[in-house]
Amino acid sequence: MSKEQYGRTRRVVGAHYGTVGFIVQRVTAIILAVYSVLFLLAALFTPITYENWVHFFTFTCFGVPVGRMLVTVAFFSLAWHAWIGVRDIWMDYIKPFGLRLALFALTLLWLAGCVAYFAAIVWRL
């Protein structure tokens, strides 16, 4: 008895496809939540002046730029979180492969530009 196949055969890359993205979304969300609480507390309990604002992002501990490192981790978490979310939207709703690929590329370029602009500002202070 022969089986006839209609259409293309779709390859599944493996079990738990998408699990890493799911876990990364949760971890980056936790990082952003913790940083947001710290940021909110700092904003509530210190007067908002230019000097305090700069100090919040540039404070050091034993010569280590802790403020810059924390904001960098938070911003990279934001960019990675955004990439996974937007990538999943493109994968779910944009069916033509060429258009989806173009949107992936544009999204990555936009996020890379945001990260470069962020680094230029924060690490220049």
Annotated binding residues, written as ranges, equal 81, 93
Backbone φ and ψ for 6, nearest 5 degrees, come out as -110, 135
Binding residues for heme: 81
CB count within 10 Å of CB 71 equals 19
Binding residues for a ubiquinone: 93
C-alpha span between 103 and 90 (Å, rounded): 7
Residue written as token pair 């390859």: 11
The separation between the first and the last C-alpha atoms of the chain, rounded to the nearest angstrom, is 74
Cβ atoms of 70 and 57 within 8 Å: the answer is: no
Cβ atoms of 74 and 31 within 8 Å: the answer is: yes
